[in-house]
A and B are shown apart, each in its own frame.
Chain A
Amino acid sequence: MDALTTPFLTGTATGAILLLAALGLSLTFGQMGVINMANGEFLMAGAYAAYVTQQVITSTGISILVAIPVAFLIAGLLGLLLEVSVIQWMYRRPLDTLLVTVGVALVLQQLAKDLFGAQGDPVRPPTWLRGSISVFGYAWPHRQLFTIILAVASLVALNAVLKYSSFGRQIRATVQNRDLAETLGVSTRNVDRITFFLGSGLAGVGGVAIAMISGTNPTLGTTYIIPAFLVVVAGGVGQLKGTVIAAWVVGVVTAYLTDWTSGSMAQVLTFALVVVFLQVRPQGLFTVRTRSLA
């Protein structure tokens, strides 16, 4: 029983982090065609935000609650800065944004190394996160459960924003038909900026969860960015449900493969499975149907 439940539970927790990392990617890609390779560094920024908050507020229980909005804001503002300074000039060249943001990612990584040291720092989880609960005899760490709760809460909040706020309606309108939305008075430029802010902020929240599990590290973004992109590719863009399902599946499948083979082999196999999956659904799991040829 253990061999089956353990990877499932840890995989679900990994999937939750991947979801937080991938939501921002999927949002900005679906809406603007922009690939943000620096999104992994926003995870890192979130993790460091949790670390710094803990240095300021020593009580671990309070600091984590403060860290979540702080990380959201810091990562979000970094995303906004990236959009305003670089990406807004490149909407006509979406593939090139990929390269530019690679450069941004390199700079941010080196910046983190210079500011906080190359080594990475531990972040102490609060006492209520240190225990574990027993699931079918497996002692499941509270931290993983916390990650999942954090991801689900963010997802619900994001969904509510997209569905019920006027601003969310503007985002969805822009995703579906940018020109028409503009004709109806939606400022797509502002919508783009705020989408970038939201997406990057969500990555920051994911960073807090990572900090609770493995501490901070200047290069932690690179660990998550590629799986997160595979999630976007497999899930399809423009809709949240594809990203959610793909994140969960990629997380769990990778966990099982890691259990059966090894961590590195699991990466190779996950990649191969995504390529095979694209044979069946080249557009990903769900996609907004359009009449465009591309």
Chain B
Amino acid sequence: MTTTTTPVDAAEPRDDAPTRTTGIAAPKWYAPGPLLRTYGPLVAIGVLALVLLVWAPNSLTAFRLGNLGKYCAWAIAAVGIGLAWGRGGMLVMGQGVFFGLGGYAMAMHMKLEAAGPDGVPDFMTLYGNGTMPGWWEPFRSGPFTIFAIVALPAVVSFLLGYAILKRRVKGAYFAILTQALAVAFSTLLIATIKQTGGFNGLNTFTTFFGQNVYDPNFKKNLYMIAAGLVIVCLVVVWQLYRSRFGELLVATRDAEERIRFLGYDPANIKLVAFVVAAVMASIGGAMFAPIAGIISPSNVDAAASIMLLAGVALGGRASLLGPALGAIAVGYGQSALSEQFPTQWTYFQGALFIFVVLLLPGGIASLWPKLKERWPTRSARDEVAAPDAEVPA
């Protein structure tokens, strides 16, 4: 299967084209000023940081802030999906697995904290004979848990990615395999009620690294951590996108064979993006568990993974801020609409997928350049006039 270039995807890389001087005369569309080109996205991230870290905690109620914290957890995972799918062209349909690895690792630590030293989590005595499986033991340690939240998804995604990508399995096959992984993972969780809490998942936490999770001040701090991590992840991908790696990733997405002929191994490039995306999903999950107060198979299964994709698709998969904003918007929409129309929510969800992907494949982010075309500024006129701006049919 050949990678088909959509008009939007093709147009996208221009937006943050490298500004490094390469000795070649810069194309005309650099004209708007290299400084703004380079650091404009950073300003946008800064504005988002102000909204999330200054405005929101001061103006939202504790309940709304808690919800926003949940959306931020999804947004962290969504930023990773933007990297793997938007820039890397890998449709990752199983990010719930990595979200779950992080979420469960954190939840296990909190369960053990609640159980006290040498204690056993309550559900194990409830459903089992009160003995704790050995692999729970290391999660008593806070530092190990944090290490595991990063290392576990990295190892799993590396092994899976290596096995699949190195054999040049790609496109739809890759997507299906990641979704199959999500299905297998959630079924396994549901079946192991004595070890992982089964369908109920892990819930009723009391403390998070010694802090009382019911303390309103601490809840706010927890939100601040999640929102801060969204910003950190955005800065990380911003740097990745403008690096040589970011260029290679987009090039691999658009013409994998050419990259291979140029002497690179596309599998390695994609593997890095896949692993980074997995780690981000895991961090998102690790923030989700304490904020939501629960992590269960329904937060990590195939449907949850697809919800993450919906946000990314809506916001704009290949844009910098689109995935995060889209995830927050979909999270908000889900709470708002499912409260009002509990049964019709699924229709909205389905319709969202159909209309966004069918009519607006670049997401809302792709509307921006179109707006600029309609009210051409000097720089935008240059852009339209530039031969590079030609959009393939």
Asked if A pairs with B, the answer is: yes
Residues of A within 8 A of B (CB): 29, 33, 35, 86, 89-90, 92-96, 98-100, 102-107, 109-110, 113-114, 222, 226, 229-230, 232-233, 262-265, 267-268, 271, 274-276, 278-279, 282, 292-294
Contacts of A282 in B (CB 8 A): 167-169
Asked if residues A294 and B1 are in contact (CB atoms below 8 Å), the reply is yes
Top 5 nearest A-B pairs (CB, nearest first) are A103-B353, A264-B191, A107-B350, A106-B350, A110-B346
| Chain A CB within 8 A of B190 CB | yes
Distance of A92 Cα from B184 Cα, bound (Å): 31
Of the candidates A95, A107, A226, the one having the most CB atoms from chain B within 10 angstroms of its own CB is A95
CA A292 to CA B171, docked complex, whole Å: 15
Identify which of B2, B3, B309 contacts A99 (C-beta below 8 A).
Answer: B309
A264 to B192: give the CA distance in the assembly, Å: 9
- Chain B residues in 8 Å Cβ range of A292: 2
Docked CA distance A113–B188 (Å)? 26
Majority DSSP secondary structure for residues of A touching B = helix
Q: Which residues of B contact A (CB under 8 A)?
A: 1-4, 6, 89, 91, 93, 160, 163-164, 167-169, 171-173, 175-177, 179-181, 183-185, 187-188, 190-192, 256-257, 302, 306, 309, 313, 343, 346-347, 349-354, 357-358, 361
Assuming the A-B contacts A230-B180, A275-B163, are A107 and B175 also in contact, with contact meaning beta carbons closer than 8 angstroms in the complex? Answer: no
Q: Which of B184, B309, B354 contacts A104 (CB 8 A)?
A: B354
In the complex the two chains form, what is the Cα distance from A276 to B169 in whole Å?
A: 12
Q: Name the A residues within 8 Å of B302 (CB-CB).
A: 222, 226
- Set A35, A96, A105, A264: member contacting B176, Cβ < 8 A: A35
- When C-beta atoms are compared, the residue in chain A nearest to B6 turns out to be A93
Contact at B172–A103, with CB atoms within 8 Å?
Answer: no
Given contacts A103-B353, A279-B163, A294-B2, 15 further A-B contacts (CB under 8 A): A93-B361, A95-B4, A95-B91, A100-B353, A103-B351, A106-B349, A109-B346, A226-B183, A230-B180, A232-B176, A233-B176, A263-B187, A271-B180, A275-B160, A282-B168
> A293 contacts B257, CB within 8 Å?
yes
Q: With contacts A86-B358, A93-B6 known, is A110 near B168, CB below 8 A? A: no
- Residue among A29, A102, A265 with the most chain B CB within 10 A? A102
* A–B Cβ pairs within 8 angstroms, 18 of them: A93-B4, A94-B1, A95-B175, A99-B309, A100-B357, A102-B353, A103-B349, A103-B354, A105-B350, A107-B347, A229-B180, A233-B173, A264-B184, A268-B185, A271-B181, A275-B177, A278-B164, A294-B3
State the CA gap A226–B357 with chains docked (Å): 22
CB <8 Å contact, A92 and B346:
no
Asked if A275 and B343 make an inter-chain contact with CB atoms under 8 angstroms apart, the answer reads: no
- With contact pairs A104-B350, A278-B167 given, residues A233 and B177 touching in the complex (Cβ less than 8 Å): yes
- Chain B residue, CB-CB nearest to A105: B350
Q: Min CB distance, B333 to chain A, in Å?
A: 14
Which residue of chain B has its CB nearest to the CB of A89?
B358
Closest residue of B by beta carbon distance from A270: B184
A264 to B187: give the CA distance in the assembly, Å: 5
Are B350 and A103 in contact (CB-based, < 8 A)? yes
Give the residues in chain A near B343, CB-CB below 8 Å: 110, 113-114
Indicate if the CB atoms of A229 and B176 lie closer than 8 Å: yes
Q: A271 and B184 in contact (CB under 8 A), knowing A107-B351, A292-B2?
A: yes
Q: Once the chains bind, are A267 and B188 in contact (CB under 8 Å)? A: yes
Which chain B residues lie closer than 8 Å to A274 at the CB level? 177, 180
A29–B175 CA distance with the chains assembled, in angstroms: 14
Query: In the complex, which of the residues A33, A98, A230, A265 has the most CB atoms of chain B within 10 Å of its own CB atom?
Result: A98
Q: A106-B350, A110-B350 are in contact. Are A94 and B176 (CB under 8 A)?
A: no
Q: Is the CB of B257 within 8 A of A264?
A: no
- Our pick among B4, B257, B346 for the contact of A106 (Cβ within 8 Å) is B346
Shortest A140–chain B CB gap in Å is 27
Q: How far, in whole Å, are A33 and B170 apart by their CA atoms in the complex?
A: 13
Which residues of chain A have C-beta atoms less than 8 A from B169's C-beta?
A: 278, 282
Residue of B nearest to A227 (CB): B180
When distances are taken between beta carbons in the complex, the residues of chain B under 8 Å from A275 are 160, 163-164, 177
Q: Which residues of A contact B1 (CB under 8 A)?
A: 33, 94, 294
Q: Contacts A35-B172, A95-B175, A279-B167: A110 and B347 contacting too (C-beta < 8 A)?
A: yes
